[in-house]
């Protein structure tokens, strides 16, 4: 079955630690995205990648980093520089940019 997987579903980290969220897709999509969702707010774009080895900052990239070494994978690292990292993180992909996007199940990150 084609789709997008994110792991883990729930993640707990201590303040000051970097943490990497996984996102894998087997849809053969060129474009991939990372969003952050906070209560009462719309999804906000952190980073996006239109093609392998290329990525662009979104609206709230500060404190985050990404890599796109393979078409299937777009991991997101939440660094200690991110002031409010506790949130729900969603990964998405699309055939082309920025057409209909398919979303992963999300990772809920809690920083203690």
Partner 1 sequence: KNEVEQSPQNLTAQEGEFITINCSYSVGISALHWLQQHPGGGIVSLFMLSSGKKKHGRLIATINIQEKHSSLHITASHPRDSAVYICAGGATNKLIFGTGTLLAVQP
Q: State in angstroms the smallest separation of the CB of 50 from partner 1.
A: 9
Residue of 1, 2, 41, 54 interacting with partner 1 (CB under 8 A): 41
The b-or-e profile of 80-91 (16+ CB within 10 A means b, else e) is: eebeebebebbb
**Where does residue 92 rank: exposed (0-12), middle (13-18), buried (19+ CB within 10 A)?**
buried
* Footprint of partner 1 on 56-95 (CB under 8 A): 56, 58-59, 88, 90, 92
Binding flag, residue 48, partner 1 (CB under 8 A): yes
Span near partner 1 by CB under 8 A; candidates 11-19, 55-63, 64-72, 73-81: 55-63
CA 66 from centre of chain: 8
CA neighbor of 98 nearest in space, from 2, 43, 30: 30
The C-alpha atoms of residue 47 and residue 64 are separated, in whole angstroms, by 8
Query: Which residue's CB is nearer to partner 1, number 58 or number 75?
Result: 58
Binding flag, residue 99, partner 1 (CB under 8 A): yes
Residue of 52, 61, 63, 103 interacting with partner 1 (CB under 8 A): 103
3-state secondary structure of 31: strand
Interface residues with partner 1 (CB under 8 A) are 40-45, 48, 56, 58-59, 88, 90, 92, 97-106, 108
């Amino acid at each position: 079955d084609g789709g997008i997987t994110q792991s883990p579903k729930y993640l707990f980290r201590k303040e000051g630690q970097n943490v990497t969220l996984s996102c894998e897709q087997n849809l053969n999509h060129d474009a991939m995205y990372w969003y952050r969702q906070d209560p009462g707010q719309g999804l906000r774009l952190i980073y996006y990648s239109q093609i392998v080895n290329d990525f662009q900052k979104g609206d709230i990239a500060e404190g985050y980093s990404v890599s796109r070494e393979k078409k299937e994978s777009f991991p997101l690292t939440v660094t200690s520089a991110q002031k409010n990292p506790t949130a729900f993180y969603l990964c998405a992909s699309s055939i082309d940019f920025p057409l209909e996007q398919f979303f992963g199940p999300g990772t809920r990150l809690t920083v203690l």
